[in-house]
Chain A
């Protein structure tokens, strides 16, 4: 095998391994909301954490029930309503949840993995990840114009170490101007609505859509695979930034945002330069419940997970990675640095509900301008590369406690002439013992190599 071919195979194997081990962030819905609103998880979820149409309206309404002026659980007032009349001669009134609105999610996984190592040897392992992660959530509202959401995650690493991460810490400002729900802001660390809008994916909670979020263009010829740390330079799963979003005319959704760009590494936590990344998305939903919960002129079935609707949208992301060096080494051992000078992502999103079936997906194209610098800092090459990615997933409610999902995903790297496209198949089956306890079987297969696959048995509960 030629060096190029061997390297391509190695990259392919590494990609497969990464593909099998990445996980997605947890979802934005928690039992704290069930307690505040004195309602079941199923009010907002098809099966947690996947939201039903009402749950999506709740999320886009800043974690408020559409049409609600008071929560079912009496809030602790921080100032009576009438203080608005004398503001600013008094602090503007608000309220907080009457108790600390916390919730806990626990995920335990029996992870079986089959893989091919560098030398082509087949290896298997079966790991009890009990727990794989524990999430502490907080969420609720402050008065009529603010909401908050936070998530602290503890996870255990394969080497036995543990790590704690702030996955979400965000403050929402809702309906500050104009018509209700038209102009909202959130600030903090959050999943940009480029991605949160794809949350239907979260019926399969262990198998993330890595081809969409973790492609790494850093590498020879514009990258060949997925980032090992899950970060990638694709569209970000999590950002630190500010996002404006809203729903107009019940069915139009938009979001625009600005955030920290690339740090010293794709998964970095600080901005590596003075530029900020920006993104935008616009959707329209035909049929079904309005995105703000409006049901005017719509006959909805009594089963709240069902509707007949079609939502379609476009999305775009622009990033600037100037100054963020990613060291590489060529086949001769020569080290150099690559910077993703500018990168653009553009895609289309669609989601179709037909009663018990929900089919959705994203197709995205990415362009990267990669600057290569020698060890002495001299610019040696500027090259532009393009890649494409898509996924399509179908979720089906067989019975309310029994739900299935099937997903195909594909990434065509710039160097596809040398390396096969990354293709994966995901099959999931979820059974809800209770509304807050579920078991899952999730199978993922690297379609390029039959012995690269995982089978996860997941037990997840939240309270």
Chain B
């Protein structure tokens, strides 16, 4: 009996923590809508997350970066596709993204870059200066981007206490401590 109890305790101890989620709304003030805010769980002490082998996709279509904001886990390689019938370039002026410049390429072709460090990298196109996109290379795989009404949903977050941060391309960042226990709601307000 003692052996069975010990086995049961060991089995429970080795099971992953129960996964919950973080959801809520980000109210962005001073901008047209509340879209494009990245909500993410900040570094977790003692935890590291290997980057995915699968590449993330970033499109240039109708002379826009699509999506405008792409969150990835730091270390992820992003493939930049040109879907327009004209030339596009992709470069970043940010040091955390090694100020990469992938050159200029035509429709249908893809070029890739690996975001090795945590970074909020601006993406620009020298051919079309009005184009702007962002890659958010984050410390954990727990992230989401808000929709126009500000809602977001981060799935499969283990129960526990975390610092949850919000980053937006033009507004000041925000953060708060969140204790996840199953479905957990956390709302934010951000402004200039």
Contact = CB atoms under 8 A, between A and B. Distances in A.
Interface of A: 67-70, 72, 74, 76-83, 85-86, 90-91, 93
B131 A80 contact: yes
A173 B29 CA distance: 24
B130 A78 contact: yes
Given A81-B122, A85-B94, A69 B130 contact: no
Contacts of A81: 122, 132, 169-170
B189 to A, nearest CB: 13
A82 B30 CA distance: 19
Contacts of A77: 129-130, 132
A52 B30 CA distance: 21
Contact of A70 (B94, B129, B170): B170
Interface string B114-147: 0000000011100001111000000000000000
Contact of A67 (B93, B122, B124, B192): B192
B2 interface: no
B171 interface: yes
Given A78-B129, A82-B92, A90-B129, 13 more contacts: A67-B29, A68-B30, A69-B170, A69-B171, A70-B170, A79-B129, A80-B129, A80-B130, A80-B131, A81-B122, A81-B169, A83-B129, A85-B94
Nearest to B30: A69
A68 B124 CA distance: 24
Where chain B touches its partner, the secondary structure class is loop
A455 B192 CA distance: 50
A69 to B, nearest CB: 4
Contact of B124 (A69, A72, A74, A80): A80
A85 B30 contact: no
B94 A72 contact: no
A194 B93 CA distance: 45
Nearest to A95: B130
Given A67-B191, A85-B94, A80 B30 contact: no
B31 interface: yes
B122 A80 contact: yes
Contacts of B131: 80
B30 A67 contact: yes
A8 B29 CA distance: 63
Interface string B11-55: 000000000000000000111100000000000000000000000
B137 to A, nearest CB: 16
A85 B32 contact: no
B132 A70 contact: no
25 contacts: A67-B191, A67-B192, A69-B171, A69-B192, A70-B31, A70-B32, A72-B32, A74-B32, A77-B129, A77-B132, A78-B130, A79-B129, A80-B124, A80-B131, A80-B132, A81-B122, A81-B169, A81-B170, A82-B92, A82-B93, A82-B94, A82-B123, A82-B124, A82-B132, A85-B122
Contact of B129 (A68, A74, A85, A93): A93
B62 to A, nearest CB: 14
Of B29, B132, B169, chain A has the most CB atoms within 10 Å of the CB of B132
A85 B93 contact: yes
Contacts of B132: 77, 80-82
Contacts of B192: 67, 69
A197 to B, nearest CB: 27
A293 to B, nearest CB: 12
A321 B144 CA distance: 67
Contacts of B169: 81
A86 B93 contact: yes
Contacts of A76: 130
B122 A69 contact: no
Contacts of B171: 69
A30 B132 CA distance: 31
Interface string B166-184: 0001110000000000000
Nearest to A69: B30
Contacts of B29: 67
Contacts of A68: 30
Contacts of A70: 30-32, 170
Nearest to B191: A67
A93 B94 CA distance: 16
A63 to B, nearest CB: 16
A131 B143 CA distance: 61
A74 B32 CA distance: 8
A85 B93 CA distance: 6
Of B30, B130, B131, B169, chain A has the most CB atoms within 10 Å of the CB of B130
Contacts of A85: 93-94, 122
A174 to B, nearest CB: 14
Contacts of B31: 69-70
